[in-house]
């Protein structure tokens, strides 16, 4: 018997990258998966900023499948820049998609899970939600908000059978990352960024999907309120080149 047999999952951001890999992984582990994204090619084409669309989609999932066991919220956008150069419209776009979108997806997840008395909500935050980065501003603020929303919800819903966690990925090779690292002239920075991961490479979407599947499953039955860093060592500490000096690399 597969780990998620008989369960119903929603994955947002499922048309690409981490969301697409997660939808595939949850289905492979036995879940019935309803996919959502702003682009076509998913079960529910919606903007996570649109409350009535999110409300209706979750209602439809539960009407069709009878339950809602796990939600992996991966829809998100990159953006930002040093604050003095940042337009308020760009701030609103990034914070609205990443933070308000998380609030709305989590709100309708929680409403159905409360009625059921069980469930697992998994938000995809970022290591940029737990530490600063150059020009991070709106993105980091939005992801820091996702981490704190996750912990607050874990407090509110733990006694009602709902676990709420987030995953903080490092650099994962998806269109979102490639849009930044493949921009003309940024090659040296791409190398630097990749090198900051202690494992010497960017992650693969499947390496976040496997962690999401774990958090969705009963293997994680005592984990809630956690921001799980999955970053190939990016945030573990500094490498300054001493190992090379010692002849180890
Ligand atoms: N790739 C990385 O290095 C990385 C690192 C840390 C965190 N993350 C986070 O992981 C999540 C997934 O990112 P990814 O790298 O797979 O990116 P991606 O661009 O491959 O996928 C993101 C998906 O979200 C969808 N989306 C964007 N805005 C939306 C909206 N308003 N409503 C509904 N869907 C919307 C996009 O259409 C896309 O399919 C994001 O929240 C991102 O911030 C990514």
Q: Is residue 198 part of a domain?
A: yes
Number of domains forming the structure of the chain: 1
Q: Is residue 1 part of a domain?
A: no
pLDDT for 249 beyond 80: no
Q: Which residue among 12, 125, 174 has the greatest number of ligand 1 atoms within 8 angstroms of its CB, and so is best to mutate? A: 174
Nearest to 150 by CA among 160, 163, 138, 139: 163
Residues of the domain holding 105: 8-245
The answer to whether 72 touches 12, Cβ cutoff 8 Å, is: yes
Q: Is residue 219 part of a domain?
A: yes
**Tens-place pLDDT, residues 155-173:** 999 999 999 999 999 999 9
Give residues (CB < 6 A) around ligand 1.
13, 15-19, 37-39, 47-49, 74-77, 97, 101, 124, 126, 169, 171-172, 174-177
Once rounded to an integer, what is the mean pLDDT over residues 79-83? 96
CATH number of residue 140's parent domain: 3.40.50.720
pLDDT of amino acid 16: 98
Q: Is residue 171 part of a domain?
A: yes
pLDDT of amino acid 239: 84
């Amino acid at each position: 018997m597969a780990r998620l047999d008989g369960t119903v999952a929603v994955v947002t951001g499922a048309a690409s990258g981490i969301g697409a890999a997660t939808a595939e992984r949850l289905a492979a582990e036995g879940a019935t998966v309803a996919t959502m994204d702003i682009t076509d090619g998913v079960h529910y084409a919606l903007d996570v900023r649109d409350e009535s669309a999110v409300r209706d989609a979750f209602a439809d999932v539960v009407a069709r499948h009878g339950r809602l066991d796990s939600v992996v919220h991966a829809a998100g956008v990159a953006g930002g820049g040093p604050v003095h150069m940042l337009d308020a419209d760009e701030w609103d776009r990034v914070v609205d998609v990443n933070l308000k979108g998380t609030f709305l997806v989590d709100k309708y997840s929680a409403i159905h899970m409360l009625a059921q008395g069980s469930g697992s909500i998994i938000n995809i935050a970022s290591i940029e939600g737990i530490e600063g980065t150059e020009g991070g501003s709106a993105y980091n603020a939005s992801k820091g908000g996702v981490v704190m929303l996750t912990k607050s919800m874990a407090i509110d819903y733990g006694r009602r059978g709902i676990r709420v966690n987030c995953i903080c990925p490092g650099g994962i090779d998806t269109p979102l990352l490639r849009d930044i690292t493949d921009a003309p002239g940024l090659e040296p920075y791409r190398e630097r960024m990749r090198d900051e991961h202690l494992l010497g490479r960017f992650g693969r979407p499947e390496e976040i999907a496997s962690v999401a599947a774990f958090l969705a499953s009963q293997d994680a039955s005592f984990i809630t309120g956690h921001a799980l860093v999955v970053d190939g060592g990016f945030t573990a500490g500094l490498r300054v080149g001493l190992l090379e000096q010692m002849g180890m690399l």
